[in-house]
Structure 1
Amino acid sequence: MNNDQVSSGTWFFIGVTICLASLQYKLGTLSSPGSGFLPFLSGLAIGFFSIVGFIHATIRKNRGEVWASFLKAVRWEKALIVLISLFAYGLLLELIGFFLCTLLFIGFLLRVVVPQRWLLVTGGSLLITVASYIVFEVLLKARMPKGFLGF
């Protein structure tokens, strides 16, 4: 099997899953559609086009790349670092507050996960933290944790 056949099979499975999930809701009729009508049609369309893609991938002369696991290219150590830092961010958010925790978290990601110069790390993390503070605290009026420093 080549990559196109594998991806078409995956999309077919997704389409069937959408169709089955939409059957839990009322489908209705064409003149009076129910809440499950549009998801059901979307699942049918996904399934149909995945079948067309599978047939096309099967009969074409150029076979394409042979399927290979994409997990070989994943940098597991960086993914683990990001996962651990997200966990630490969630634990420390209430304790040290949104602003300081986000500043340290973004700075850590910019310096350790995607190594950048210190000027970019400090400027970028400060800019991202201030922008997210403005979006959540000022514009959306969401109360963010203040922490022990009060900000």
Structure 2
Amino acid sequence: MDISEFPQRLSNRHRFTSTERLAILAEWEKYAATGSEIGAKSAFCRRVGIDTKSLSNWIIAKRQGLLVETNQRQTRYVLSKQERIEFLRLQKENAILKAQLEQAEGAVEVLGKASELLSALAKSSQIRTPPVPYEQPIPAAFRKPKPTE
């Protein structure tokens, strides 16, 4: 496919098919291999009606194997309208569930600390009786006699 065979760009937002992109890249490689003068590469891009950044993005995509030959224009959205609606609904639900999980984890943490505090208070509030020292019995000689009735 020659550059003259490319359809004229209707606007700046015109999208090329993958086949057209690959043809432009093939033409570019031929043009770049000749070692043309300064500014010739930019002139090539202007003649085709693309930006040099677009061309470099296409080259990167081709190297990564992302640019395959098809006659379909790339769609802006990969998902259908229903899939996008479902995706957005699931994102909202996910955000709500994450907030609930964070709240529940915070409550569990607070309850754990409260449990530790209560067990510490329970241990400290137990009545502690001092140990009674052992008393030696009084010898019989020093005891008073018990009154008899």
Structure with more contact order per residue of length (Cα contacts < 8 Å, sep ≥ 6): 2
Q: Would the TM-score normalized by the shorter structure come out above 0.5? A: no
Of structures 1 and 2, the larger Rg is shown by: 2
Higher relative helix content: 1
TM-score after normalising by structure 1: 0.26
